[in-house]
Amino acid sequence: MKKLEEYVRSIPDFPEEGIIFRDVTSVLQDPDGLSLAIDSIKEKLDGVEFDIIAGTESRGFIFGVPVAYALHKAFVPVRKKGKLPCETISESYDLEYGSATIEMHKDAVKPGDKVVLIDDLIATGGTIEASIRMIEALGGTVVKIVFLMELAGLKGRERLKGYDVESVIVYEGK
């Protein structure tokens, strides 16, 4: 079987010159790549005690739900503002050009819940940092954060100091 990195399509000079875009859709389009990605994330959770997996819209759903299913854990979606039907908690965060707001249901995490966050990619870390703030505001504890890919050159991991963070693949650049 190929290594997971071999399933990731790298597109040079996208979205701008000098950037190498790491395309996760090529992983999703290959049954072996998808299985390897899910299994690799799941392995990062060996020995971790937790109650809930939370994933950010939308690729955190793609990878978080099958891991939650395989480990028989609940899944909590972290959505873009205005997408959830019940009472929500929200957090805003800065993007490279502007800001965004994410939300989750107020009853999704209860005091004392141990939560794992899963997403496809860590770049600057803003989305996950905002997710952590919401989970902690509801009384939960983030016990682990797992990414399929990490762009180490964007230093997103630095925003998550104090948390147990692992990435299946680490790319040194941006």
What residues are annotated to the active site?
Answer: 59, 96
> Which residue matches tokens 């141990």?
114
- Rounded to the nearest angstrom, the gap between the alpha carbon of residue 169 and the centroid of all alpha carbons in its chain is 13
Instruction: State the Rg of the chain over Cα.
Output: 16
Listed residue (17, 34, 16, 14) closest to 25, CA to CA? 34
- Indicate the burial class of 57 (C-beta count within 10 angstroms; 0-12, 13-18, 19 or more): middle
Distance CA 92, CA 33 (A): 33
CB 53 within 8 A of CB 76: yes
Phi (first) and psi of residue 9, to 5 degrees? -85, 130
